[in-house]
């Protein structure tokens, strides 16, 4: 008899949850998304200064660091690079102090 007859079958679903990072000209805002539908924001987790560079993620799941390490799928790497490029442009446009 297979394990199905013993009553010890179980399904384990591991959902760490997703985050959305919104980049504005003033800040990074980190949103907590639903565990099962990763595209719908539920809460604002934190806000960070816009002066922080996200870095250059690489590989299928590249990492960036803000308040902790976040893993970014390859399809969003171009967005991370664009955010850093926009920061460079904003800093270059500022008058010297």
In tens, the pLDDT along 29-66 reads 999 988 776 678 889 999 998 898 999 999 999 999 88
Distance CA 12, CA 32 (A): 22
Whole-structure pTM value: 0.74
Residue 4 domain-assigned (yes or no): no
Pairing of strands 19-23, 61-65: unpaired
Non-local CB neighbours of 9 within 8 Å, separated by 6+ positions: 3
Q: Which domain range does residue 20 map to? A: 13-93
Query: How many domains is the chain built from?
Result: 1
Q: Does residue 3 form part of some domain?
A: no
Whether 5 is covered by a domain: the verdict is no
- Burial of 59 by CB count in 10 Å (0-12 exposed, 13-18 middle, 19+ buried)? exposed
Please check whether residue 78 lies inside any domain of the structure: yes
Distance CA 82, CA 73 (A): 15
């Amino acid at each position: 008899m297979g394990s199905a007859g013993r009553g010890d079958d179980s399904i384990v679903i591991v959902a760490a949850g997703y985050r959305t990072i919104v980049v504005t000209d003033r800040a990074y805002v980190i949103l907590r998304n639903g565990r099962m539908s990763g595209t719908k924001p539920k809460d604002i987790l934190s806000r960070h200064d816009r002066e922080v560079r996200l870095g250059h993620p690489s590989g299928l799941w590249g990492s960036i660091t803000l308040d902790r390490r976040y893993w970014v799928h390859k399809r969003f790497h171009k967005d991370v690079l664009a955010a850093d490029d926009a920061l460079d442009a904003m800093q270059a446009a500022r008058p010297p102090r």
